[in-house]
Amino acid sequence: MFHTRSSSSELIRHAGFSYFPLAFIARLPFAMMTVGVLTLVVAERGSVTLGGLNSAAAGIGTALAGPLLGAAADRFGQRRVLVPVGLVNATLLGAFPFVVAGPASALALLALSVLIGASAPQIAPMSRTRLVAIIKRSIRPVQREKVLNGTMAYESAADETVFIVGPFLVGLLATAIAPWVAIAGASALTFVFVTWFALHPTGRLDPSTPHTTEQQAPARDLARFSLLTVVAGTLGIGFFFGATLTSLTGFLADGGDGDRAGLLYGVMGIGSAALALGSAAFPQRFSLRARWLVFGSLMLAAAIVYATARSELTLVVALAVLGCGIGPTLVSQYSLAAQLSPIGRSATTMTMLGSAVVVGQAVSSAVTGVVVDRLGASTALALPAVAAALVVAAALAHIASASRVVHQPEPELVDA
């Protein structure tokens, strides 16, 4: 116990005491992006469908550019990538409220949303990559697994908290001041904290080291089925986020309280953050794959309750239980991704997962917005259950792939 605590303190010492709060704040704009775009477009243009399409456009931009930014960071170092990308993204976010409020066409809005998503600095995967590198360099081999699991638990809890706090802030600012303030705030946070994160000493990555060049695994290793099932699972989490927030917005908008969606959405963060952090204390015999399946199934059960809810109280209870399932599920997925990441492809792998969450959230927001407009908010409440079912299906596929690997013969080892 004392050795583990000492190793964790060593990790904090090597990262720097300011690192963790900095990395937390720097990832807030990323979580505010799609929700802020959705809220602002709906408020200014009066269309949930158009708002959802702009969120989806931002997700498409992230899907196209996110893994490329991760690969660039693996090759050239994070600092050289994050500084210019962060400045571009801050500028685009700052311009977005003026474009939405002006006479720009819907097509122009969609194009700008794509650029915002493409330039979004993905701090979470970059942070994981830095911490994994510190653990490999500075923590004794006997303690690495425990420290890595604890670190992934914290990072996933931070992600989950941010993806709840981000929409909460958007809802709070939209309700208390105006919807454009949230996007302007995301721009300011990006300019200050993303730049600070990029220039932090942990961002000094040498692209000429053997780990990043001579020993780098081929890109085709990123397409291994076991890793792709984890990406599919995080995509399902993204689908769930988008479907839940948009359906909740539509349901409350029917009563004239659509701006409160971000506030109620924040209820998920309570159990989610607590159980995500607490998952580091789970016994080792409760494997990562089992945790994914168990807590994913809890998500599915709570999502079914959410789908049948017709009162605000029932929605709040369902959201609270949903949070208890999401946190440990994300921890399990990111921990598995860290284990399965090909050599020298850590930033790319983590960016794939981060992109999957944002893409899923954006696309699901668009689809759910169309369902709200055409079939009604009550019908849209069923979509989070569909997303949760995908999370469970991905868990089953991952477990099946792992079983095949365990049971198949290994003639190569015999020949060696």
Q: What pLDDT is attached to residue 91?
A: 94
Structural domain boundaries enclosing 282:
16-404
Residues 6+ apart with CB under 8 A from 407: none
DSSP 215: T
Q: Which pLDDT tens digit goes with each residue over 264-295? A: 777 777 777 777 777 767 777 888 888 999 99
- The reply to whether 2 falls in a domain is no
Q: What pLDDT is attached to residue 41?
A: 87
Report whether pLDDT(382) > 60: yes
Report whether pLDDT(113) > 80: yes
What average pLDDT does the segment 28-44 reach?
A: 82
Q: Which of 104-108, 365-369, 400-404 shows the lowest per-residue confidence on average (mean pLDDT)?
A: 400-404
- The reply to whether 410 falls in a domain is no
Share of the chain above pLDDT 70, in %: 85
Q: What pLDDT is attached to residue 397?
A: 92
Q: What pLDDT is attached to residue 404?
A: 63
Q: Which pLDDT tens digit goes with each residue over 244-271? A: 888 887 887 776 665 566 667 777 777 7
What average pLDDT does the segment 380-404 reach?
A: 89
Q: How far apart are CA 272 and CA 33, in angstroms?
A: 21
Q: What pLDDT is attached to residue 297?
A: 94
Q: What pLDDT is attached to residue 405?
A: 54
- The reply to whether 144 falls in a domain is yes
- The reply to whether 331 falls in a domain is yes
Q: What pLDDT is attached to residue 7?
A: 54
What average pLDDT does the segment 15-26 reach?
A: 86
DSSP 358: H
Ordered DSSP codes for 121-179? --HHHHHHHHHHHHHHHHS-HHHHHHHHHHHHHHHHHHHHHHHHHHHHHHHHHHHHT-H
Q: How far apart are CA 293 and CA 50, in angstroms?
A: 35
Based on the structure, what is the number of domains in the chain?
1
Lookup result for tokens 């990406």: 231
Q: How far apart are CA 255 and CA 220, in angstroms?
A: 50
Considering only residues 203 and 32, tell me which one the structure prediction assigns the higher pLDDT: 32
Q: What pLDDT is attached to residue 208?
A: 39
Q: Which pLDDT tens digit goes with each residue over 136-190? A: 777 777 676 677 767 777 777 777 677 767 777 877 787 778 888 888 888 999 9
Farthest-apart Cα atoms in the chain, separation: 70
Q: What pLDDT is attached to residue 256?
A: 62
Q: What pLDDT is attached to residue 211?
A: 44
Structure tokens given for 119: 């330039």
- The reply to whether 240 falls in a domain is yes
Handedness of CA 48, 330, 67, 29 (dihedral sign): positive
- The reply to whether 11 falls in a domain is no
Classified as helix, coil or strand, 120 is coil
Q: Which pLDDT tens digit goes with each residue over 201-243? A: 877 644 334 444 446 666 676 778 888 898 899 999 989 988 8
Q: What does the buried/exposed string (b/e) look like for 24-42 if buried means 16 or more CB atoms within 10 Å of the residue's CB?
A: bbbbbbbbbbbbbbbbbbb
Judge whether 62 and 358 are in contact, CB under 8 Å. yes
Handedness of CA 99, 100, 106, 109 (dihedral sign): positive
Q: Considering the chain, what is the average pLDDT of its residues?
A: 79
Here the CATH number for the domain that contains residue 334 is 1.20.1250.20
Q: Which of 42-56, 79-93, 308-322, 388-402 shows the lowest per-residue confidence on average (mean pLDDT)?
A: 42-56
* CA-closest candidate to residue 362, choices 162, 191, 110, 106: 110
Q: What pLDDT is attached to residue 181?
A: 87
- The reply to whether 237 falls in a domain is yes
Q: What pLDDT is attached to residue 6?
A: 53
Q: What pLDDT is attached to residue 255?
A: 64
Model confidence at 309, pLDDT cuts 50, 70, 90, reads confident
Share of the chain above pLDDT 90, in %: 18
Considering only residues 303 and 150, tell me which one the structure prediction assigns the higher pLDDT: 303
Report whether pLDDT(81) > 70: yes
Q: Which pLDDT tens digit goes with each residue over 321-360? A: 988 888 888 888 888 887 787 776 776 787 788 778 877 8
Report whether pLDDT(391) > 70: yes
